[in-house]
Amino acid sequence: MDTQTFNAIISVSNFLKETADQRLELCRDLLQQMAHQHLRPNLGTLNAVLEVVSTFGNFKLARSSALKVLAEFKQLEIEPSLCTYYYLLIIFCRERGPVSHIIVDILNEIKGREFSIQHPKDTYFFTTAMDVCRNHLHDKSLAKKVDELLHTGNNYDLIGDTYKESIYYRHYIALLCQTEPIDEFMKIYDLLVPN
C-alpha cells in the first residue's frame, strides 16, 4: 500500500472502530505499518488523523490527542494546511465544551500568509473560524483578523462555494451587529452587503 491508501484507511477508521481508544489505536497501528514499509506520512496523513480525533466524544482525550499528533508531525516537518486548522477548531471549540482561545494561536501563526488549496476541506476553515468568533468567543477583533486573513492575497479563493460564503458573512454581520456602535456597523454593512 502507498501513503494515499493508508491516509484513506485512517480517515475511515471512525467507521471501523466504535470507541475513541480503539480508533486511536488503529491510527497508531496504521502509522507504525507505514513506518515499517518506509513510507513517509504527508499532510493528508496529518489531516486524516485529526479528522479521526475530531470525532471523539471525550473532549479532553480529543484535545490531548490532537496536540500530540501536531507535535509528532511538526517533528516530521509537515506544514499544516487550512484543513488542519479547521480540525483544530472543531476539536477545541465545541458547542458544549469549555471555551478555548486556540484560534488566537492559529491566527498568530498564519497571519499575513497566502494559502492555496492542498486538501478538499481547506475551504471549511474561514466559515468555521468566523463561527468560532461569533458563537464560541463573541469577539469582534478576532473576527476582523479572520476577515483580514481572508482578504490577503488570493485567500478569498478558499472561502468555498456561495453557501459557505453566505454562512461566513451571516456570522460576521451578526457579530458586528451585536458588538459595534450603529454608525460603525452601518459603514461596514454598506461596504459588504451590496457586494
**Cell numbers that stand for 88 in this block:** 483544530
Q: How many CA atoms lie within 13 A of 138 on its CB side?
A: 5
pTM of the model: 0.92
Q: Positive or negative CA dihedral for 98, 108, 119, 192? A: positive
Q: How far apart are CA 183 and CA 141, in angstroms?
A: 17
Q: How far apart are CA 2 and CA 8, in angstroms?
A: 10
97-105 own/partner pairs: CB under 8 Å, 24+ apart: 97/59, 98/59, 99/136, 99/137, 100/136, 101/137, 103/129, 103/132, 103/133, 103/137, 103/142, 103/146, 104/142
Residue 111 has what pLDDT? 93
Residue 65 has what pLDDT? 95
pLDDT in tens, the chain (195 residues): 899 999 999 999 989 888 999 999 999 999 999 999 999 999 999 999 999 999 998 889 999 999 999 999 999 999 999 999 999 999 999 887 789 999 999 999 999 999 999 999 999 999 999 999 999 999 999 999 999 999 999 999 999 999 999 999 999 999 999 998 898 888 888 888 865
Q: Which of 65, 73, 14 is nearest to 44 (CA)?
A: 73
In 10 A of CB 70, how many CB atoms?
17
Residue 195 has what pLDDT? 57
Q: How far apart are CA 89 and CA 51, in angstroms?
A: 11
Residue 156 has what pLDDT? 95
Residue 153 has what pLDDT? 94
Residue 194 has what pLDDT? 67
Residue 193 has what pLDDT? 80
Residue 51 has what pLDDT? 96
Q: How far apart are CA 177 and CA 168, in angstroms?
A: 14
Residue 33 has what pLDDT? 95
